[in-house]
Amino acid sequence: MAFIVKKFGGSSVADAERIRRVAGIIAEDYRAGHKIIAVLSAQGDTTDELIEKASELSGKPPKREMDVLLSSGERISVALMAIALENMGLPAISLTGRQAGISTSADYSSAKIERVEGSRILRELDNGRIVIVAGFQGMDKYDDVTTLGRGGSDTTAVAIAAALHADKCQIYTDVDGVYTADPRKVEGARKLSEITYDEMLELASLGAQVLHNRSVQMGKRYGVEIEVLSSFTPGVPGTIVKGAATMEKTKISGVAKDTNTARIAVMGLADTPGIAFRVFNEIARAGINVDIILQSIGRDKTKDISFTVPKEDLQAAVATLEKKKSELQYSAIDTNDAVAKVSIVGAGMMSASGIAAMMFEALYDAEVNINMIATSEIKISVLVRETDADRAVDAIHRKFFE
């Protein structure tokens, strides 16, 4: 008998037929004698429909009220799932985030889980029930409803698994695991049976949208093994995200592409100490995350600093820099949003020599020009023209996996 937390996303519970399929998956494990907690997202388009309703009334609806509004979506899906399970003759009970003991910070629309008070969940499990928990939501110290923002339901599942010491945390998505590259685009992409938390974090941040970073970080912190698998192909083993201990040896785990990136070059900055700090301090104060940074070697007492930001932040970043032009004393700003970041990720990468060279050789063979390069302990990223990105991913994947 195992104690399993399962999470199903919005597309897995989008209609009655899919709810019944998920109920079947839950039922199978329950009948095998396991204790089951299922965390659900809102059905399919519910959240978008609710956002649309709010936008008809206000251009800037208050976040507290948006949380009351949006949290109703998960309440609907958990009630429906409990109804489907009871209809199969199985004892089930739905719990809201609050009832499940999810305490959060009071940051409406992006609350952080602070504590999981699991007594109600445990009592219901002890009564032999399948417990269905509304993901993405909790309650703050003011007794108000909060939502957790992007990746919220995954995070709810991992937090519950951590707090209640579950044996497994299974995240069901519409893909059946983590692949060495996007299987819809790269022929020969293969599913990984295991991946480390750190590799998964890099892959997620690089545009491989399987698990949200927050849930992986929480899994890493509390040592919760997370299995990614598909509700559409039940029985097919997925990918297990875990610590490094039992990992199989591979050079790299995957190739990822991120087209949501834009490059900014600040040219002709004074070549004095602290200038980089001042540039990035301004950008940070504008709430913009910077990714790859490249600084040219100074010449003529000036230097250039290039960096990438998410595409949607490009205009704000430029505006921030222009406002501070007199203080920063640069000569010009150049931007390019027709770029993409292509990366390889692997925990053992830095100890294996020649990985970077292999990657660059693949790009050279595919005639892809590299704009910028960034490396970390477990990844190498290059910035390329957006139109070259798919060819780059394909070439690199062939190089490493064929």
Residues near its own copies (CB under 8 A) are 16, 19-20, 50, 53-54, 56-62, 64-66, 68-69, 71-73, 75-76, 78-80, 82-84, 86-87, 93-94, 96, 99, 120, 143-145
- 78 CB-contact burial (10 Å; exposed 0-12 / middle 13-18 / buried 19+): buried
Residue 114, class by beta-carbon neighbours within 10 Å (0-12 exposed, 13-18 middle, 19+ buried)?
middle
Q: Nearer to its own copies by C-beta: 76 or 318?
A: 76
**Closest separation between CB of residue 134 and its own copies, Å?**
9
Tokens (6 digits) for 195: 């991946």
Q: How far is the CB of 31 from its own copies (least distance, A)?
A: 19
Alpha helices in 111-241 (DSSP H): 119-126, 152-163, 197-205, 213-222
Nearer to its own copies, 69 or 333 (CB): 69
- C-beta of 99: minimal distance to its own copies in Å? 6
- Geometric angle at alpha carbon 201, from 243 and 171, rounded to 5°: 75
* Cβ 48 to its own copies shortest distance, Å: 14
Under 8 Å between Cβ of 6 and 39: yes
Nearer to its own copies, 87 or 193 (CB): 87
Measured from the CB atom, the residue of 94 and 196 that comes closer to its own copies is: 94
Terminal Cα-to-Cα distance of the chain (whole angstroms): 40
Assess contact for 362 and 251: CB atoms under 8 A: no
- CB nearer to its own copies: pick between 137 and 261: 137
CB-based contacts of 104, cutoff 8 Å, min separation 6: 111, 112, 113, 114, 138, 139, 140, 146, 148
**Minimum separation from the CB atom of position 143 to its own copies (A):** 6
112 contacts 103 by C-beta, under 8 angstroms? no
∠ CA(376), CA(192), CA(218), 5° rounding? Answer: 60
Retrieve residue 262's tokens.
């834009």
Smallest gap from residue 133 Cβ to its own copies (A): 12
Question: To the nearest whole angstrom, how small is the minimum distance from the Cβ of residue 279 to its own copies?
Answer: 36
Helix axes 16-31, 63-87, angle to 10 degrees: 60
Q: Which is nearer to its own copies, 22 or 171 (CB)?
A: 22
**Complex with its own copies: residue 92 or 160, whichever CB lies closer:** 92
